[in-house]
């Protein structure tokens, strides 16, 4: 149905030209000032690239424990350490410092800030022990422990995804049908799958 393609103005023109309908009152006014036509993306969505992105990637490769896996923290008001590092490198480059020197200065600033945070955490921990309270959470957890916990949670979450659950339920239903055919009754109605 090629006569239905296009916007309202072109559709109405074709209907009026083919004598399928009367000319509406608003057609001449709309032809005099047609609605704006917005550019189309042709199905290709361009990736958003910020100027500090290469430095953020380099920082994440150098310090793997600082990667953010929580999607809620990505859009937080306080930027993550990698983003701060990238912005600091760009700021230093604007002042005329070479890229390598800017990266090393920003890295030294990050390490000194991290060291100060660790000292502050150590002092808070001592105060909590003296007051018989639970210590506060670590500001910079170990990268290895974080990777281990991520792998454990992903192994557990693997069975909670909807596609896997559907597959498990389908296999369970097929097994129940086979057991009913063999025994003639509803045998083994539990929710577990025998491996």
* Segment 171-180 long-range contacts (CB within 8 Å, at least 24 positions apart): none
Please indicate, yes or no, whether residues 67 and 113 belong to a single structural domain of this protein.
yes
The pLDDT of residue 140: 66
Boundary residue ending a domain (129, 153, 173) = 129
DSSP 3-state assignment of 150? helix
Q: How far apart are CA 110 and CA 115, in angstroms?
A: 9
Q: Is 161 helix (H, G, I), strand (E, B) or coil?
A: coil
Same-domain status, 68 and 104: yes
Number of Cα atoms under 13 Å in the Cβ half of residue 62: 17
Q: How many angstroms separate the CA atoms of 135 and 98, rounded?
A: 42
Domain boundary among 129, 153, 176: 129
- Residue 113: domain span: 50-129
Q: How far apart are CA 54 and CA 74, in angstroms?
A: 17
Q: How far apart are CA 106 and CA 55, in angstroms?
A: 10
25 and 56 fall within a common domain: no
Overall domain count for the chain: 2
**Separation of alpha carbons 184 and 181, rounded Å:** 5
Assess if residue 98 is contained within a domain: yes
Max CA pair span of the chain: 91
> In whole angstroms, what is the distance from residue 7 CA to residue 4 CA?
9
Residue 21's nearest CA partner among 10, 12, 8, 31 is 12
Length of the chain: 195
**192 within some domain:** no
Distance CA 74, CA 82 (A): 11
Q: Which residues contact 31 (CB under 8 A, 6 or more apart)?
A: 9, 13
187 assigned to some structural domain: no
In a domain, 41, yes or no: no
pLDDT tens for the chain, 195 residues long, are 565 677 888 888 888 988 888 999 998 898 898 888 777 777 788 888 999 999 999 998 998 877 766 656 666 677 888 889 999 999 999 999 999 999 999 999 999 998 998 899 999 999 999 998 888 887 766 655 655 655 565 666 666 778 888 888 899 999 998 888 876 555 555 555 554
- CA 5, 8, 14, 19 dihedral sign is positive
Gap between the Cα atoms of 11 and 4, Å rounded? 6
Q: Is residue 142 part of a domain?
A: no
Do 55 and 28 lie in a common domain?
no
Residue 182 lies in a domain: no
């Amino acid at each position: 149905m090629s006569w239905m393609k296009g916007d309202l103005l072109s559709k109405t023109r074709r209907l009026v030209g083919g004598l399928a309908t009367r000319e509406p009152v608003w057609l001449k006014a709309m032809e005099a000032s047609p609605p704006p036509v917005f550019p189309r993306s042709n199905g290709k969505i361009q990736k958003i690239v910020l100027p500090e992105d290469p430095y953020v990637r380099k920082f994440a490769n150098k310090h793997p424990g600082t990667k953010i896996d929580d999607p809620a923290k990505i859009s937080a008001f306080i930027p993550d350490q990698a983003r701060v590092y990238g912005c600091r490198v760009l700021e230093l480059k604007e002042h005329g410092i070479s890229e390598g020197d800017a990266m090393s200065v920003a890295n030294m600033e990050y390490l000194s800030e991290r060291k100060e945070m660790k000292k502050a955490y150590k002092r808070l921990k001592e105060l909590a022990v003296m007051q018989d309270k639970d210590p506060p959470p670590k500001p910079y957890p170990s990268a290895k422990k974080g990777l281990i916990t991520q792998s454990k949670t992903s192994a557990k979450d693997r069975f909670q995804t909807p596609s896997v659950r559907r597959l498990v339920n389908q296999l369970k239903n097929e097994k129940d049908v086979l057991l009913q055919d063999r025994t003639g009754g509803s045998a083994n109605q539990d929710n577990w799958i025998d491996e």
